[in-house]
Amino acid sequence: MIRPFQGMVPKLGSRVFVADSALVMGDVELGDDASVWFNCVIRGDVNFIRIGARANVQDACCIHVTNGKFPTILEDEVSVAHNVMLHGCTLKRGAMIGMSTTIMDGAVIGEGCLVAAGSLIKEGFVAPPNTLVSGWPATVKGELKEAQKALVAKIWTNYVRYKEAYFRDGWPLAESPKVEDERPGFEHGHPYP
Ligand SMILES: CC(C)(COP(=O)(O)OP(=O)(O)OC[C@H]1O[C@@H](n2cnc3c(N)ncnc32)[C@H](O)[C@@H]1OP(=O)(O)O)[C@@H](O)C(=O)NCCC(=O)NCCS
């Protein structure tokens, strides 16, 4: 389900997949070839959410923001595995977030990082690029090994392929709803609720 909120309409690139049981609402942008899988909630109601090209947000993830303070930004080719909670954080290009991880306000996960499954990333934590981060709460374990880099690179490419398989199977391309009085988003002056 893709819904406006206070005149702010999700903006979608080309060949985007949004599973019908996912909710994408408000000030949200999804880049070309992005995919959002079953039962996700992506709620851009009190700040904005940006999801880059070829990024994937797998089943049962929840993405939210903090009113007036922290948007959530996923750059291109980010993978977010099943059951992840992202709140007010930034994931740099090509990062991969393992299943059932929680990432809190102001955290920044560097380019190409691997966050191990089941991690807790505390507020304001900064992960240097291309590192393995793990634990509850998480610490930086060091530079990624070759096998870990290969895993990070494989998942987003797999998901671009998977959503194309769904389109071939008859699942619809995601479309933005039409609204009469569309309004600009938070970056362009929409008042925070
Ligand atoms: C990180 C991961 C890839 C394991 O990689 P690995 O090369 O086998 O890592 P290692 O076993 O060498 O572990 C390196 C360190 O990280 C720790 N670690 C690895 N996975 C961890 C996890 N999930 N939680 C906590 N710590 C973890 C290890 O204990 C080790 O710590 P140490 O150096 O203090 O001993 C794997 O645990 C993981 O999380 N994969 C992601 C799975 C996923 O979500 N897939 C998406 C499906 S689409």
193 inside domain: no
pLDDT in tens, 113-144: 999 999 999 999 999 999 999 999 999 999 99
The residue nearest atom 47 of ligand 1, judged by CA position, is: 81
57 inside domain: yes
192 inside domain: no
Amino acid 171: pLDDT: 98
**Residues with a CB atom less than 6 Å from ligand 1:** 81, 98-99, 114, 116-118, 132, 134-135, 141, 145, 148, 151, 155
- pTM of the complete model: 0.97
Ligand 1 geometric centre to CA of 149 (Å): 12
CATH at residue 150: 2.160.10.10
Domain that holds residue 101: 2-182
Radius of gyration of the chain (CA): 16
The residue nearest atom 43 of ligand 1, judged by CA position, is: 98
188 inside domain: no
Amino acid 164: pLDDT: 98
176 inside domain: yes
For 33-57, what is the mean pLDDT?
98
Q: Encode burial over 21-55: b for 16+ CB neighbours within 10 A, e otherwise.
A: ebebbbbbbbbebbbbbebbbbbbbbbbbbbbbbb
Ligand 1 geometric centre to CA of 145 (Å): 11
189 inside domain: no
187 inside domain: no
Q: Which of 58, 103, 132, 160 has most ligand 1 atoms within 8 Å of its beta carbon, as the pocket-test mutant? A: 132
pLDDT in tens, 67-79: 999 999 999 999 9
63 inside domain: yes
The tally of domains found in the chain comes to: 1
* CA dist 184 → 41, 138, 181, 190 (Å): 21, 37, 10, 6
Amino acid 33: pLDDT: 98
Amino acid 53: pLDDT: 98
